[in-house]
């Protein structure tokens, strides 16, 4: 089946849309550009589906390439047949192709290759043919020169060859893999004492391979890596060995049958079983890693797209005990106004001194919000801030933000370049303040693996994880858009069509020539050519530009068509600039959408996108999302009780549930069974990071700081 046909079938898309997508990808267009500006060619499929299709496209291209390589290698050996070529053409996976190639692959020295060198291949063929007495025929292979001293030596060598022939049989391997996957059992045992009890549930554990959950596979793998566990996949060897001989034994009464059985038993124990087990475990691991990466992607996207807190002066606090709490005040644009250190928590407990410094900073810089990192000493710092706010009064509030990755950023080359005169703790406090103002712009600076919303992310295939997470960052940055005159290199490099080098050139151009006043100036930036301009221009915004369209997601290629649409309904550029096009959508519908699109030489999807931009130029998609909840007071775990209803924010969604921040230092866990009364495949079907929820406390262990929550019982209590 052609790649295009296969993708059409797998993704259930129209053939012409798939053909257009593949053409656009092959021409070097980026996923965000295709998703946003080529909707008429793709059927308006979103960026996530495009990425999945692109991944599959790359796999199928590599599969086809490998098929050609294998066919060529077998043909060069003069061993190609119609059956082999048909098998290669029909292979659906890389594993199947490698199975077909296995008998023809150049091998290192094996017992079979040694036997073949001794001239024992004809004896092996004779035994497999099962048409005579193998021991009599074996006599003719005795040779001192070749090291075959007896007929039994010849028989043993022939069995080694047969064992490898059976092991190399693609059909047998495929069947055994299926049996291991569908009927095998994962057996795990402890091999050394686990004092922390991390792997206690796996000390004597078994589960069918077909039923084992992905997060358990990753836990077992980690336990093996840390040498606490030993795991293997068990499948009944008697059944497996019968599978190995079924294709080769013609009659159990044949004198050769027993020798074939012995060779098959040896081949299974020595060659097939270890190999198939490795392959099945690798497949399980790959599946589990893909699910974990998917969860990281699902969690990271809403975290990056948290609504920014705009137009506020923020005081960031990086809590600490011995070294104190680092303080940084940033203005509405993120510029650092002041830094300090306070010691309101043990061991110093200088609460009055800390209050004095905080009050001075808040008063001098007119601070609106305090942003507190959620790491060490966070709870104690939060208590201090809540008391301070009560004393000050007014509209000041605070929020607790995740400080995951702040220390990684603070010690990075990027942070040193940004704040060369600050130490790592001061940089961390600045990062915590800015995370509240614009989560995307700040979190983009951090290695996504350090952001703390994944499962087993440090055990993943790092190349695959980096590829997926880079895609998430790219999608988020381009869906929001970037201010061309304020964006950092870290942000610009994720814009469609740009990279680190061009991003640095944009910043250098900006510093040398002043602010950009039009998108067309991008073409003057070093190494930013026509293709890069086509890909990036629509995602870069210029607030206050002479052409109002430069501050929208309308692509420059559509400017004349957009202007035609504006004039068609009697509007002016000033009307757009002053947001006076609120009735444009209704007017277009009254006029006729198809008629309007044809008049403006636009397709309907692009026209509707342009209308949305004209109605609200410079809009930020994050503004329509639920806003962050700000606090003025605090809860402690001692204030909680079973049955209490609490409000919280989803921090992390995992395979078996979700962690919810309910305003105490410890996140509560809601198990998948307590999310909803209806059946759900996965917690992410219902919950996402940053979502505001109500929950009922169903279990509380204050000593171990564990809080069990239920979302589904909230409605029951209300009734």
Contacts of 53 (CB under 8 A, 6+ apart): 7, 11, 18, 21, 45
Residues 578 and 667 in one domain: no
Phi-psi region of 187 (alpha: psi -120 to 50; beta: other; left: phi over 0): beta
Q: Is residue 14 one of the residues assigned to a domain? A: yes
State whether 605 and 714 are in the same domain. Answer: no
DSSP-assigned beta bridge partners for residue 652: 659
DSSP letter for each residue of 581-647:
-TTHHHHHHHH-HHHHHHHTT--HHHHHHHHHHHHSTT--GGGGSPPPPPBSS---GGG--TT-EEE
Report which of 687, 693, 215, 690 is spatially closest to residue 476, judged by C-alpha positions.
690
Q: Quote the tokens at residue 677.
A: 């009364």
What is the domain range of residue 346? 314-453
Q: Residue 659: which H helix or E strand, with range?
A: strand 657-661
* Cis peptide, bond prior to residue 159, ω within 30 of zero: no
Same domain, 324 and 388: yes
* Claim to verify: residue 616 and residue 660 sit in the same structural domain: no
Long-range contacts of 98-107 (CB under 8 A, 24+ apart): 98/70, 99/170, 99/173, 99/174, 100/70, 100/170, 101/70, 101/73, 101/74, 102/168, 102/170, 102/173, 103/165, 103/168, 103/169, 104/73, 104/74, 104/77, 104/79
C-alpha torsion angle, residues 667, 672, 675, 680 (rounded to 10):
150
Shared domain check, 448 and 325: yes
The secondary structure of 111-139, three-state, reads HHHHHHHCCCHHHHHHHHHCCCCHHHHHH
What's the CATH code of the domain at 582?
1.10.150.310
**Who contacts 27 (Cβ-Cβ below 8 Å, separation ≥6)?**
none
Contact between 142 and 135 under an 8 Å Cβ cutoff? The reply is: no
Q: Cβ distance 396 to 362 under 8 Å?
A: yes
CATH number of 712's domain: 2.40.50.140
Count other C-beta atoms under 10 Å from residue 595's C-beta: 10
Radius of gyration of the chain (CA): 33
- 678 and 609 part of one domain: no
Enter the DSSP assignment of 667: P
Residues 553 and 589 in one domain: yes
Q: What confidence tens digit (pLDDT) does each residue in 325-343 have?
A: 999 999 998 999 999 999 9
Query: Which whole-number Å values give the CA distances from 506 to 424, 476, 528, 556, in the listed order?
Result: 28, 20, 9, 18
**Contact by Cβ (8 Å): 127, 259:** yes
Q: What is the DSSP letter of 557?
A: G
Inside any domain, residue 661: yes
Q: Are residues 697 and 616 part of one domain?
A: no
In a domain, 238, yes or no: no
Q: Classify residue 257: in a domain, yes or no.
A: no
Question: Could you give the 3-state DSSP secondary structure of residue 651?
Answer: strand
The pLDDT assigned to 622 comes to 85
Give the domain CATH number at 420. 3.30.420.140
If residue 237 lies in a helix (H) or strand (E), which one and from where to where?
Answer: helix 237-246
Residue matched to tokens 């206690």:
200
Same domain? 617 vs 658: no
- In order along the chain (719 residues), what is the average pLDDT of each group of 10 residues? 92 96 97 96 93 96 96 95 95 94 90 95 96 93 93 96 96 97 97 88 95 94 95 97 93 88 97 97 94 87 89 95 95 94 95 96 96 88 91 89 85 90 92 93 85 74 85 94 94 96 97 96 97 98 94 96 95 89 93 95 94 90 74 71 89 90 84 93 89 92 89 73
- Alpha carbon distance 476, 470 (integer Å): 10
Are both 339 and 432 inside the same structural domain? Answer: yes
The secondary structure element, H or E, covering residue 246 is helix 237-246
Q: What's the domain count of the chain?
A: 4
Q: Domain for residue 557, yes or no?
A: yes
Judge whether 344 and 387 are in contact, CB under 8 Å: no
Is residue 275 situated within a structural domain?
no
DSSP 516: -
338 with 432, same domain: the answer is yes
The predicted structure's pLDDT at residue 690: 82
Max Cα-Cα span within the chain: 104
CATH of the domain at 55: 1.10.10.650
pLDDT on residue 523: 97
CB 607 within 8 A of CB 562: no
Domain shared by 329 and 386, yes or no: yes
């Amino acid at each position: 089946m052609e790649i295009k046909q296969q993708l059409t079938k797998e993704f259930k898309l129209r053939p012409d849309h798939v053909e257009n997508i593949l053409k656009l990808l092959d021409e070097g267009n980026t996923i965000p550009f295709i998703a946003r500006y080529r909707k008429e060619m793709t059927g308006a499929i979103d960026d996530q589906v495009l990425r999945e299709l692109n991944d599959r496209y790359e796999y199928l291209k590599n599969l086809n390439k490998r098929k050609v390589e294998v066919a060529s290698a077998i043909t060069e050996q003069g061993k190609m047949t119609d059956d082999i070529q048909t098998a290669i053409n029909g292979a659906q996976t890389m594993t199947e192709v490698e199975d077909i190639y296995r008998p023809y692959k150049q091998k290192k020295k094996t017992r079979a290759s040694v036997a073949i060198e001794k001239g024992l291949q004809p004896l092996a063929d004779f035994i497999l043919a099962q048409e005579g007495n193998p021991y009599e025929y074996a006599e003719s292979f005795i040779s001192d020169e070749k090291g075959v001293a007896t007929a039994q030596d010849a028989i043993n060598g022939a069995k080694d060859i047969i064992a490898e022939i059976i092991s190399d049989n693609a059909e047998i391997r495929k069947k055994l893999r299926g049996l291991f996957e569908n009927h095998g059992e994962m057996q795990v045992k402890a091999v050394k004492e686990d004092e922390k009890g991390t792997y206690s549930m796996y000390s004597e554990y078994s589960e069918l391979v077909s039923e084992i959950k992905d997060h358990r596979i990753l836990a077992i793998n980690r336990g093996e890596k840390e040498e606490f566990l030993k795991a293997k996949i068990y499948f009944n060897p008697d059944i497996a060995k019968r599978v190995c001989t079924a294709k080769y034994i013609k009659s159990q009464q044949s004198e050769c049958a027993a020798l074939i059985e012995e060779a098959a038993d040896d081949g299974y124990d020595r060659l097939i079983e270890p190999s198939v087990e490795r392959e099945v475990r690798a497949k399980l691991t790959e599946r589990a890693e893909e699910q974990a990466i998917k969860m990281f992607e699902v969690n990271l996207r809403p975290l990056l797209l948290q609504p920014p807190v705009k137009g506020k002066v923020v005081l960031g606090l990086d809590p600490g005990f011995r070294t104190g709490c680092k303080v940084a005040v940033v203005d509405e644009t993120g510029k650092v106004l002041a830094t300090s250190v306070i010691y309101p928590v043990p061991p110093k407990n200088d609460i009055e001194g800390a209050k004095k410094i905080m009050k001075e900073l808040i008063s001098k810089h007119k601070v609106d919000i305090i942003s507190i990192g959620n790491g060490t000493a966070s709870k104690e710092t939060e208590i201090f801030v809540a008391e301070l706010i009560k004393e000050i009064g007014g509209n000041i509030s605070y929020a607790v933000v995740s400080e995951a990755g702040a220390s990684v950023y603070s010690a990075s080359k990027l942070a040193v370049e940004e704040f060369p005169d600050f130490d790592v703790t001061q940089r961390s406090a600045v990062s915590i303040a800015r995370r509240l103002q614009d989560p995307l712009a700040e979190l983009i600076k951090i290695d996504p693996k350090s952001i703390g919303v994944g499962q087993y992310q440090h055990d993943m295939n790092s190349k695959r994880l980096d590829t997926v997470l880079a895609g998430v960052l790219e999608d988020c940055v381009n869906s929001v858009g970037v201010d061309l005159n304020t964006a950092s290199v870290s942000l610009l490099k994720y814009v469609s069509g740009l990279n680190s080098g061009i991003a640095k050139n944009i910043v250098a151009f900006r510093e040398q020539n002043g602010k950009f006043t039009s998108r067309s100036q991008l073409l003057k930036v070093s190494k930013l050519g026509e293709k890069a301009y086509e890909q990036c221009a629509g995602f870069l915004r210029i607030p206050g530009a002479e052409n109002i369209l430069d501050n929208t997601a309308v692509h420059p290629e559509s400017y004349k068509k957009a202007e035609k649409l504006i004039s068609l309904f009697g509007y002016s550029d000033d009307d757009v600039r002053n947001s006076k096009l609120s009735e444009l959508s209704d007017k277009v519908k009254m006029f006729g959408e198809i008629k309007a699109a044809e008049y403006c030489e636009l397709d309907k999807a692009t026209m509707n996108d342009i209308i949305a931009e004209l109605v609200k130029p410079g809009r930020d998609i994050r503004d329509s999302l639920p806003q962050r909840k700000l606090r003025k007071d605090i809860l402690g775990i001692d204030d909680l009780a079973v049955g209490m209803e609490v409000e919280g924010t989803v921090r992390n969604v995992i395979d078996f549930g979700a962690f919810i921040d309910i305003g105490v230092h410890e996140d509560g866990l809601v198990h998948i069974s307590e999310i909803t009364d209806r059946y759900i495949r996965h917690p992410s079907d219902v919950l996402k990071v940053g979502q505001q929820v109500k929950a009922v406390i169903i279990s509380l262990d204050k000593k171990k700081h564990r809080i069990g929550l239920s979302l589904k019982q909230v409605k029951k209590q209300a009734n």
